[in-house]
A and B are shown apart, each in its own frame.
Chain A
Amino acid sequence: MNASTLGVQQPGVAPRVARFRYTKLGKIRFTSHRDVGRMWERALRKVALAVAYTSGFSPRPRIAFGFALPTGAESLAEYVDIGLALDRSHELSDIPSRLTPALPEGLEVTGGVIMDAGSPALQAAVTCSTWELNPISLAAGRPSPAAPDRGAPPTLAMLAERLDQFMSSRTFEIEVERKGTSVPTDIRPGVLAAALNDDGVITCDLSAKGTRPGDFLRALGADPLEARILRTQQWIDHQGGRAEPLAPGAYFAPPGLTEIFREEPIDVRSEPVPAFAAAPPPARHAGRT
């Protein structure tokens, strides 16, 4: 990489973007979305990937993330798009395995593809995420030591009842913090599906720009600060159903290039998934959709 090629398209070469899927698990969940951005910038320099830079006075690497994961939440399915400076995709096959050691513990690259640069950006394409919310795991049924005044977290039966109530309502208005002020907001439309299992884990699909997992938990009478929040999937609309952002056909792939990349072991979730209705796992209380 040298300064003269940064941010400059090579004539005759179609611009490419690498899309990676990665995890955010463990202690590192307490870092912010911006922190993760800096971790990626350092990691890309460490593995010397030929990253495209923005032009201008203060060039920045062309990196675009999906919707921010709330600080404190974990994820099995985060995504990042990275502009490539050169058509050196043939050198990229070992990049996922080299990136993981270059990233801090808890961030693990679990897949990647090469796309044409014209593919829709993550923030435009992703429509919803699947979450696992565990409102009692940290408190383990006791009054929270961190907030003794809040009393005991909800029991399983209480959660089940409130979830039924929520899912059978047409609207559900709560106060939601937006830029520092509380605004009454109907969060029901943003909850596409939800189910509770015997361990007290709520599996739910929340629309990308709609309801946030913390707000959903509060609507159920649970304290989001006491809950484990895990994003397990992100989805884009695809051929009348939905697919994960790495699934074949979910992006514009340059001919002959993705195959090289797909020789890497890619998580099963990169396979096309069935349409929405079949997606939620078996559960005691199936929500309405």
Chain B
Amino acid sequence: MTMKKLKLIHIVILFWLLILIAKWELLYNIMNFVLYVFRGNVKIQKIDIALLDYVVATLLFFILPFVAWKFRKKLNVRISGASFSVTMFFFFVLFAPLIATSNPAMHHDIKKCKLLPPFSSVAIEERTNIKISNASSGLHEFYNKIINRGIDKNTLYLKANNQNNSKKLFFLFGTDEYGRDVFSRILYGTRFAFFLGISSVIISFSLAFLLGAAAGFGGKFWDNLLNRFTEIFLSFPFLFLIIVFLAFFGNSFWVVVFVLGFSGWMGLFKIIRAEILRLKSKDFIISAKMLGMPEYKILLKEIFPVILAPVTVNLVLQFGNVIMAESALSFLGFGVGDEYFSWGAMINSGQYYLANAWWLSFFPSLFLALTLITMNKTGNELEKIYNPGSTK
């Protein structure tokens, strides 16, 4: 009974408060730093991505309540499993630096932190960093306090003189073979996966829309040709071609995004083409044509908004497919490489420790499976909204 009264807005507030309570010190520090910069006490010579990440996440964190207030009517719906986990991933993606317990690339003291099981905490002597370069002191202090950077050539690590300086580290999901925090890595992996998924879905969609428009407006010949093409592309296992491409032409982030985007347009194309053919004989399109609207304007202003609703379901499913394909590629060793936090790569490196450190591959697998289940479930629910007649 109580579950029925729980609304989405309550979940958003709950997550927000949780972060606020757990990380108020960090938030306070970052806000202080922002004020510092605004007052002009610190001169920033170089924009640092990690620092920017913290600041943007904090600002977003404080803007979120206002946004939630604005959309309070839309958020006032009963929660389901899918919407709950979508909200969770939304928080993970936006506020990864705030939620993370340590820097994902930080190699903690390998003597104490190698392959620790989940829920373990370790007391570590805090090391003070001494910057060799003469950075301004406020920024320097901020660096030491908050962004415990893993590798910085200009920093010397020294043992603190007084023994009281030991701090307690808590590893929710354990640590890996280099003493890195698995939980933080997975968090940043969420971000990576979602960014990759969104960018390659956008590529797929624009390609499918262009080709669908060509098939719908270009006449019989183009229609037939593109249809034939789509059929063979649909039946061919694209993983091979993707692997050939990645193995021979290198595998940077954008190459992976483009390759996955270019290999996922077929299903979208079929739907968009069918929709365009259906819409072409509708009155509002015909009248727009009569009024002398050019074809590209009809496409963009009349057809595009109408198509967007039925395609959304497939976009969500395609998003899940892309994430799965990327992790499969990373698992096989053809992914984006080590500088990104890919779940597939984590599972791959964890499988060698399967016998004595199950958490290395278990938690990334769990998050991956959870994401895919969420996406499929969201797709199903959206389909229920868009075509209520179907019995799925």
A and B co-occur in one complex: no
List residues of chain A with CB under 8 Å of any chain B CB: none
